[in-house]
Homo-oligomer: A and B are copies of this chain.
Amino acid sequence: MSDFPVSFTGGYSRPVPKPESASLDFAVDRSSPVPLYYQLAQQLESAIEHGRLAPGSLLGNEIELAGRLGLSRPTVRQAIQSLVDKGLLVRRRGIGTQVVHSQVKRPLELSSLYDDLQAAGQSPATRVLRNETEPASAEVAAALGIAEGSEVQVIERLRLTHGEPMAYLCNYLPAELLDLDSARLEETGLYRLMRGAGITLHSARQAVGARTATAEEGEQLMEPEGAALLTMQRTTYDDTGRAVEYGTHIYRASRYAFEFQLLVRP
């Protein structure tokens, strides 16, 4: 299947185990403002995604690839490295670079529930239950790294799909960070609004647990009392290290589970 006649290596010294990627029409546009390594990385990723680069196949050596594209080896290496970081390629010294053959999905982004649901075609809806400011409790102040009693914005939302509740979300933000319109909150996710306001999200610390539902929680989520609930607490930081959001979320375990992909960092 993956062995085909060797033509360009000139049959010189060794049979070559599996030469691949011989004549994929990679080409870069030097007049484009997009970095060259990035153009190449995207073309490689696309080729992998569409099966033009078979899983397990070798990528051909960097020097030859650089020469064919008119690029320098560091540029090609940068492109390859970015895909290695994504988990699409594996490098082996002395062997070559090959396409990993597993169903690698997105490696756990800092995603909003809203986007997740939308991507799954679930047509999410949001009902804003509360949107106002209040003095920070000790717990919230500690999570956001601010003084207890400072004003924070509190948002309580119910997330629904197909008319049924899916999760109850409670978020706290430093008061002056952002003015949040309830109408906009019902149309999109919180993270998208924050990004739109010039806040660059950088990292988050999460804790995922479980507990049984109280009577009120059950009523709100249309679950019986004592049903299993999936809980998550998350503190999100921007690129200056400032905490910009703290949230306590409750999901119906019967209708939601966290799925994600991990990569090992060598």
Contacts and interface: CB of A to CB of B under 8 A. Distances in A.
Interface of A: 2-4, 6, 8-10, 12, 14-15, 55-56, 74, 85-87, 90, 100-105, 107-110, 176-177, 192, 195-198, 201-212, 226-230, 237, 239-241, 243, 253, 256-265
A82 B13 CA distance: 35
Nearest to A211: B228
Contacts of A212: 212, 226-228
Tell me which of A15, A228, A257, A258 has the highest count of chain B C-beta atoms within 10 A of its own C-beta: A228
Contacts of A9: 197-198
Give 5 nearest A-B pairs by CB, closest first.
A209-B257, A210-B210, A101-B241, A210-B253, A102-B241
A224 to B, nearest CB: 10
A100 B202 CA distance: 10
A240 B56 contact: yes
B202 A261 contact: no
Contacts of A108: 108, 262
Contacts of A261: 203-206
A100 B228 contact: no
A110 B9 CA distance: 22
Contact of A196 (B3, B176, B262): B3
